[in-house]
Amino acid sequence: MKTLDVAIIGAGFAGMYALHRMRGMGLSVRAFDGAGGVGGTWWWNRYPGARVDFPSAPYYAYSFSKELNDDFVWKETQPTQAEVLSYLDHCADKLDLRSDIELETWIYDPRFDEETQRWEIETSRGDHISAQFLVCAMGSLFDANTPPIPGIEDFSGELYHTGRWPQDEVIFAGKRVGVIGTGSSGIQAIPVIASEAGHLTVFQRTPQYSIPAGNRPLEAEEWQAAIDEWDERRAAMDESPFGLPYKFSERSALEDTPDQRQKVYEEQWQRGGLHMLFSAYNDLLLDKRANDTIAEFIRGKIREIVKDPETVEKLLPDYLLGTKRQVIDNGYFETYNRDNVALVDLRKDPIHRITADSVITESGEHPLDMLVLATGFDALTGAYLKLNPTGRGGARLANTWRDRFSTYLGMVIPGFPNLFMIHGPQSPSVLFNMPLGAEREGDWICDCIRHMRENDLGAIEPAEGVEEAWAENVDQAASATLFHNTDSWYSGANIEGKHRQFIVHLGGQQYFQHLRDVADAGYEGFVTEKA
């Protein structure tokens, strides 16, 4: 049996940071990860074309240590998966974390022992671990979703999920490839697969408003400027509502004439990246009339880029732009001008079933050698339900969350003492700069543990009923926006049988201020037990 102060599940951005901080506090702590390397989501999502859709350091990187950049240079403005993974490998070495990370080790059946105030945990290596605290840094997008399409298990060609991409090279050349799904992963993978495959059929359910990424090599002077201005840029991230390096517009789209708006949107389109959503106008995600203007601009771009009119019709999105995760791309719409690419609109031509070597839709059979599922994740809660810890009174999480996902602050779960989540449901997670959010939440957990040690406390958990006020807080932040109006994985709509609940906190910086206020008020909303 191993006895620890803290067991961390996950060795991505969040788990590695928590490990680093907690070791610095003198705690005995280890991180466990089922993957074969550090990197979390960046270890698993190695599908072709995978990139960050966010500018690189100091923005999508650890911000707590300028020294981590001393011998690492980002090469592109929107780094590839391989580049991010090599950055995280570099950080694991530089922070000397590896001796406290157990890879290829899954955590099973964590149980809270009320007598000892400790978590008792089994690992896939047959070890038993006893830890006072359990920190779940499992990532928001971990539990890959294989949709229950009839016959999917019969497919005998090569079958891959973007979120579980193999380590070995996948060869597309000369093959008939099908991709199901046109979210961020599918839209990144499709142009790369199309450029290599014999033929590609894209099975699309919901067309997307994708924006050009504007990716390009990062010039040496730009990188040097980022280092020289490190502190200023960090401070700007701290000021920015979502931890993003963008200048947020203060102007309504409805204040401008159609010609003025066209000019603004065109400028942002040429600039590329997520700027368009934040820097063009301030009400695109708040007011449907404003949203309609940018949606129509992007539909216009699709009409301009794609040559075949029938394909254009299939590609035109009609939901509220930005209320599904905004996608940015590298030549996505242009891909449909290739002779070796076909698009199936599943809304008009649905899949009947999958056979050993084809996908059969209403209109006929699509023979395939390879099928790529870019069908997303049971986001935010899937990994927790699979872990299914046992809290007070023998309660299993799957039961506690059967009708509603309840948390306090998105950090802790009622009835599950001494268990902390990083990027949990009802925290900002995917709608804030994730590495920065991981640092802030990791710091908050460290402060809480320090508070407990200084006050001789053995257990901490949410007070009765605080989860209801927190759910209201999450709902209030979302209801001020257009997010509620669209089916998306933010509200569980992508998983059959999952109950609908919007579980991303849209408060951005205000959320992190709230976390600090709760701590400053002596951990308001929590109850504790003496050790």
Interface residue list for ligand NAP (CB under 6 A): 51-53, 141, 147, 149, 162, 180-186, 188, 205-206, 325, 346, 374-377, 430, 489, 494
Please, are residues 124 and 118 in contact by the beta-carbon 8 Å criterion? no
For ligand NAP, the closer of residues 117 and 326 by Cβ is: 326
Q: How far is the CB of 183 from ligand NAP (least distance, A)?
A: 2
Tell me, what amino acid is at 471?
A
For ligand NAP, the closer of residues 203 and 523 by Cβ is: 203
Q: How far is the CB of 504 from ligand NAP (least distance, A)?
A: 10
Q: Name residue, tokens 């300028």.
A: 66
Neighbours of 119 (CB within 10 A): 26
Q: How far is the CB of 435 from ligand NAP (least distance, A)?
A: 11
The CA distance from 141 to 34, in Å, is: 15
For ligand NAP, the closer of residues 261 and 314 by Cβ is: 314
Q: How far is the CB of 328 from ligand NAP (least distance, A)?
A: 7
For ligand NAP, the closer of residues 53 and 461 by Cβ is: 53
For ligand NAP, the closer of residues 119 and 377 by Cβ is: 377
Three-class SS of residue 422? coil
Q: How far is the CB of 185 from ligand NAP (least distance, A)?
A: 3
Q: Name residue, tokens 């920015």.
A: 240
The CA distance from 221 to 55, in Å, is: 16
Please, are residues 57 and 478 in contact by the beta-carbon 8 Å criterion? no
For ligand NAP, the closer of residues 240 and 528 by Cβ is: 240
The CA distance from 218 to 73, in Å, is: 9
For ligand NAP, the closer of residues 32 and 44 by Cβ is: 44
Rg for the chain, CA atoms, rounded: 23
Q: How far is the CB of 378 from ligand NAP (least distance, A)?
A: 10
- Helix residue spans in 117-252 (DSSP H): 184-196, 220-228, 230-239
Q: Name residue, tokens 């730009």.
A: 222
Closest CA to 377 of 109, 181, 170: 181
Q: How far is the CB of 269 from ligand NAP (least distance, A)?
A: 18
For ligand NAP, the closer of residues 280 and 372 by Cβ is: 372
Please, are residues 177 and 193 in contact by the beta-carbon 8 Å criterion? yes
Q: How far is the CB of 376 from ligand NAP (least distance, A)?
A: 2
CA distances from 428 to 49, 69, 243, 441 (A): 26, 27, 11, 10
Please, are residues 18 and 135 in contact by the beta-carbon 8 Å criterion? yes
Q: How far is the CB of 360 from ligand NAP (least distance, A)?
A: 13
For ligand NAP, the closer of residues 145 and 240 by Cβ is: 145
For ligand NAP, the closer of residues 98 and 205 by Cβ is: 205
Q: What is the largest CA-CA distance in the chain?
A: 70
Q: In the chain, count H helices and then E strands.
A: 15, 19
Q: Which residue is nearest to ligand NAP (CB)?
A: 183
The partner residues of 457 in beta bridges, in order of sequence, read 530
> Residue 441: in which H helix or E strand, if any?
helix 434-454
Q: How far is the CB of 179 from ligand NAP (least distance, A)?
A: 9
Residue 171, token pair as written in the block: 């060869």
